[in-house]
Structure formats: C-alpha cells, structure tokens
Structure 1
Amino acid sequence: MTAEQLYEVPATVAFDGDRPYATVLLSRLGPDMPCFQERLGRGLADAERLLRERTRDASDHRVRALTGHLAATGGKRIRPLLVLLAAEFGDPGSEGVARAAVVAELVHLASLYHDDVVDRAVTRHGAASANALWGNRAAALGGNWLLARAARLSADLVPDALALNARTANRIVEGQLLELTGPGPGDDPVARYFRVAAGKTAALLAMSLGVGAFQARAPRAVADALVEYGEQLGLAFQIADDLLDLRSPEASSGKEQGRDLLAGVPSLPVLLAREGTDACDAELRELLAAGPAAGEGWHRRALELFSVSGATARAETLMYQRLDRARAALGVLPPLPARRTLDALCDYVALRTG
C-alpha cells in the first residue's frame, strides 16, 4: 500500500454505512489475505452485536437509553480491533475473545461518559452527549454502570486478562484525576503530560492488546511485547491528536482547527512552546498567556506561529520516537499478518499528522 492510499483512511468517520470504522481501517492496513480479513471482520461483527446487547440490557428502559447511547451513536472500535489482532498470536478462536473485545470497548465508553462530564461537552460522535441529554449526575452514573458491566463480563476471562483489566481501570481513573488537578508546584508539565496520556490513552490500548493475547493463550513474551507496543502507540496517538488540532482544517479533521487551543487544553506543543527559547515561541507564550484578551485574531495568529514553531517540530519528533519504540516492541513477534497490520498502524498514526 502506498502512503497516499494509507492516508485516504478517514481519521474521524466512525461508521461507513453499517461497517464500524475499524473494519474500514483493517481493509486498508491489513494485508490482502481474504482469510485474515474475513476472520477479523467476523470478530468485529460479533463484538459489535455483543456490545449493543450488553449496553442495553438494564431492566429499566430509561437506564437502557442512557447506557446504550454512545454505543448506538457509533465509535471507531479501534480497541476491539486491537484485541482481535493480538489474539492472532495465539488461538484466535479461543472462547471469550469477542467478550474481551467488548470489555475493552466498555471501559473506553465509560471513560468517554466521564470525560464529557468533566469537559462539559455537548456532543460526542456527532450526536448530543449523554450529559447534555440526561445531565451530569446521570451521565457519570451511566459511565459507572458501563464499568460495572465491563467488570461483570471480564470475570469470565482468563486470570491474566482479568488482572490487566483491573489495573487498567485504576490507571484510567488516575489519569483523569491527574488531568483534572493539573500540575502542582515544582511539577514538570511535560512529564505530567506523559503521565496523563499514559493513563487516559495508552493504558487502554495496551490493555486491549494484552487481554486479546492472554485470552487467546499467546506466549507470555508475546503478550508482554504487545502491551509495550500499545503503551508506545497510545502515547504517539495522543501527540498526533495534539498536532492534528493545530494542523488540520475542519474539512479534513471533522472539528474546528485549534479547538483544543481555544479551550486552553495544555497539549504537548503548547507545553513545549512555553519552554521554548526562540522568537516564535516568545510571541506564542504572550498569545497563550493572554488568550482572547490578546484581541481579535489571536487564535489565527497562534495557529500561524505553531505552523513554524520549533515546539511543533519537537512534539513531532517525540511522536516519532514513540512510534519507533512501538515498532521495536513488534520485533519479537512472529511474522504473521497481524504483525504487518500493527506495523502499518504506526505508519497511519504518523501520516495523519502530515
């Protein structure tokens, strides 16, 4: 596949017709091997059916509407795809692999309910957020319900997968709390950024790969390598999202360019600009400190400066370092189609920011 073909995979579309985004992504990233593509396609379809069932099986219809809301509005289903790819390194037909994929997506959905409450978001996946429809208290409890459902489903997983799921739930909540409290006196903001990203983004990608490998009874060394790959890919993914916010116009990214910048989100380029020493970063620091008080056009000027700032280039370098570490982790894996797909996913993360 050429770089141009790879980049044609949309970065924001959740569903293509009735197909989850993950299925579209797999068709572009995975090798042209019908058996491999069909097996993972069936796995994604099975996981999607189970997910819809398990998010709408509450006894009260009002609770069902709340807990099934985000699953019904879409989602990329990247985490279930990672579970299935990891299972390829063991026995992909093992009992419980589809359940493990649903557990990973349930934990992810729960984190989105909580994030939207904290961020006071009004939309998610192109539809009204749960908190906008039912209020913050109900949305927070809806997220808790999904976590409880994930715990109930994971109880039947193999012990290593169950333990990894429990550790990950703790890491995600800690990452959310770290983000909410912000850096304290003497904290290194960049180091804290990576701690938050590790908890909020990387931990769940790593868990998805780990539970898939454990449930399929892959060798321990393979499972450990997949977990490390997920950690590094997750950190690179977060940096890529930061760069996309500054670089991608709404027509291609699906959201307003610089939306996080407007909201005051301390992305990695912002943090690096605050530490920068060149003239460009000096002007950026003044604009960032003043915000809208800097006058009309401050946002446009900040985006212009970030396009040539050394801070943006440094953030991109850090992203590539994480992608290199992810690829290195794949080195111990057998040369299966799933390994080629995971390697191509690194290319996709990098190309999204181009």
Structure 2
Amino acid sequence: MRPLRREFALRAPDSGMLVGQLGIEDAELTARLYAGLEAAEKALQDNATDAADPRVAALTGYLAAAGGKRLRPLLVLLGAEFGEPWRAGVIEAAVVTELVHISSLYHDDVMDAATTRHGVPSVNVRWGDRSSVFGGDWLLARAAQLSATLGPEPVRLNAQAAGHLVTGQLRELVGPGPDEDPIEHYFQVLAGKTAALFTMSLSIGAYQSGADMAAIRALEQYGHELGTGFQIADDLLDLVAPCGQTGKEQGKDLLAGVASLPILLARADDSPGGAELRELLLAGPSADTAAHQRALELFGTSPALHEAKAMMHASLDRARDALSELEYQPAFQALDALCRYVAVRTA
C-alpha cells in the first residue's frame, strides 16, 4: 500500500460525500481520497479565511463554509493517482482549484442576480454586489499566491484556467456575433467557464504527482469532456430540479436571461408544439411569475431537454474514450464512475 502523507487523519467514509457515491471497489484508493479531501478541506477553510480583517474573512470564507461537492479537489486527487499521489503539493493544488471555483461563484451570482447558493443566501444578497465581486477577486488572488508556492507549471496552469474562465464569462456576457451560431458560441463559453477548470484540476494533480505527459494529455481531454457534460447537466437541472435538490432557485438561468443549452435548443424549435415556449423565451427574461412558471411547465415536455441530454451523454462517452489512453488502475474506475454520476444527476 502506498503511504499516506503523515498529516492525513483518516475518518469513516461519509455517505453524503461524492466519493461514497462512486462505488469505488479499491479500499486503499478510497482511504487515500477520503484522507486527501479531509486535508484539502481544512486547508481550504484556512486559506479562504486568511484575511487580516475579520470582516473580510467572513465574506471570503462564506461559500467555502457553506459546503459543496468538492468535485474539483477530487479531480486533483484522482489525477495525482497516475503518478505518486503522496507527493508534496498535491493537497495545495486541490485547494488552488477550489479557490478558483469558489471565486467564480461570487462573480456568477452577481451576474445572475442569484439569491441562494448551496442552500444559503448568496454572497451578493448578504454583502451586496460590489463586496461580492471583490470577495471573488480576493479568492482568485489567494489561489494565485498558493499556486506560486508549487512552482512555475502550477502557476501557468492556474493563470491559464483563470484566463479561460474570465474569457468564457465575457463571451457569455457579450453573446454570439451576428454571424455566429448560438450553439457553437455556447460550447465556446462552456469551454472557458466550466471545462477549463476540470481540465486544470486533473492536469495540476497529475503534474504535481510526477505523472508522465501522455497521462496528463489524456486526463486533460477527459476533463474537457467531463466538464462539458457536467455543465449541460447543470443546465438541465436548473430547469427541472426543485430548489431543495440543487440549493438554487429553479429556473435561475431562465430568470437571468442566461442562454443555456436547453434554452437555445427550445428557441430553435420551429415545430408547432414548441411555439408557445419559443415565444416566451424570445420575449426575454420576465418578472411575471406566471409566465416563468408556464415556461418551466413547457420545458417539462419540450424535445429540447431530450436533445440537450443526448449531447450530454455524447460528451460523457468521449470522456470515457479518453480514459482508454490511460494505464488501467483503480483511479480509472473512479473516473469512469464520475461520468455515470453526472448522467444520473439528470435521470
């Protein structure tokens, strides 16, 4: 059995954690993942609340304390399995990815005028838009500082992911050009906003553990496709899942005017059956509660949901294809199970 880093304190698996939902058969891998996530969680809380002013620390640590799936730190740990996962810096790399992710949530909720996140009032509701934006900036800076302790390549990966994330947000904000296909534009936005951080998580974990370049490239491709499928799943859940399941208000994208994949597909549906929903969507975001509820009802039977789900499954199939380039080991099973986990979320 490969040794665990000495500071890891093993605990009984928590059935509510993502690791427990993957059905990993290898006990040693399961122990390493639980131990790594526990260490990463402690380091995350420490880093997110490290501001000298306690009022700033309360703001920057708010969403970290609210919880989350911690999928990106898990991806770092799984990427590290293709090298030597006990190497120094792997846990810090996991924290970097989650800090970048959480920083993006602060900005997202301002852009979308969200009211809840992880089942609690959003940061912009608690502190206002300006404080929320600067809180996200602080977390992004903290991620950069932490990555600088790991060496030039982690700094590059972090800067690259942050650049892709901001570019994706800006492209979403300005919308497609006059001659640009809205669906193609959506996937370019997705590549920056979501898939880039999945790719970074796997590659920084693999790099920090000393994995070879062939494994890193395969993991990057897997991460891109998994991130694509994950975002489409989120788009679907926004329209069909109640607030109690997601911790966010149902139809948040619809209310904010976000052009998610199902919304774009429904707008393009020129069949007679799709006319009412298309008309509601083309009218733009509405404060009319009845119109909003009617749009959600129509989405329940819209072929746009089935088409989006088919695209999600195609991305997950491509993610599995990328795994075929990796040497088989227990982490391979966990990565395959993550594809299944994403698909099951929308079942």
- Whether TM-score is above 0.5 comes out as yes
Alpha-carbon distance in 1 for matches of 2:323, 2:72: 18
Partner letter of residue 153 of structure 2? D
- Pick from 104, 109, 120 the counterpart of residue 113 of structure 2: 120
- Pick from 95, 98, 112 the counterpart of residue 102 of structure 1: 95
Task: Provide the residue aligned with 2:3 in structure 1.
Answer: none
Most deviating of 125-134 and 217-226: 125-134
Task: Provide the residue aligned with 2:236 in structure 1.
Answer: 243
Most deviating of 121-130 and 253-262: 253-262
Most deviating of 92-101 and 290-299: 290-299
Q: Is the 8 A contact 1:84 1:92 kept in 2?
A: yes
Change (3 A) 1:191 1:70: same
Unaligned segments of structure 1, at least 5 residues: 1-17
Q: Deviations over 1:154-174 (max 9, x none)?
A: 012243332111111100011
Normalising by structure 1, we get a TM-score of 0.88
> What is the Cα deviation at residue 320 of structure 1?
1.2
Query: Residue 233 of structure 2: SS of its match in structure 1?
Result: helix
Change (3 A) 1:155 1:261: same
Partner letter of residue 28 of structure 1? Q
Task: Provide the residue aligned with 1:353 in structure 2.
Answer: 346
The answer as to 2:299 corresponding to 1:310 is no
Change (3 A) 1:136 1:296: closer
> What is the Cα deviation at residue 249 of structure 1?
3.8
Q: Deviations over 1:270-301 (max 9, x none)?
A: 11122223222223212223468798744444
Task: Provide the residue aligned with 1:9 in structure 2.
Answer: none
Change (3 A) 1:257 1:169: closer
> What is the Cα deviation at residue 113 of structure 1?
1.2
Most deviating of 307-316 and 229-238: 307-316
User: May I ask how many residue pairs the two structures share in their alignment?
Assistant: 337
Q: Deviations over 1:34-61 (max 9, x none)?
A: 2211111110111111111111122222
Alpha-carbon distance in 1 for matches of 2:269, 2:25: 45
Most deviating of 114-123 and 104-113: 114-123
Partner letter of residue 124 of structure 1? R
Query: Residue 244 of structure 1: SS of its match in structure 2?
Result: helix
The answer as to 2:324 corresponding to 1:328 is no
Query: Residue 83 of structure 2: SS of its match in structure 1?
Result: coil
Alpha-carbon distance in 2 for matches of 1:72, 1:217: 31
Q: How does 1:117-196 map to 2 (within 5 A)?
A: 117-196=110-189
Normalising by structure 2, we get a TM-score of 0.90
Change (3 A) 1:69 1:296: closer
Alpha-carbon distance in 2 for matches of 1:296, 1:116: 20
Q: Is the 8 A contact 1:87 1:212 kept in 2?
A: yes
Question: Alignment identity in percent?
Answer: 57
> What is the Cα deviation at residue 121 of structure 1?
2.4
- Pick from 214, 221, 224 the counterpart of residue 228 of structure 1: 221
Change (3 A) 1:296 1:238: closer
> What is the Cα deviation at residue 150 of structure 1?
0.7
Q: Is the 8 A contact 1:22 1:81 kept in 2?
A: no
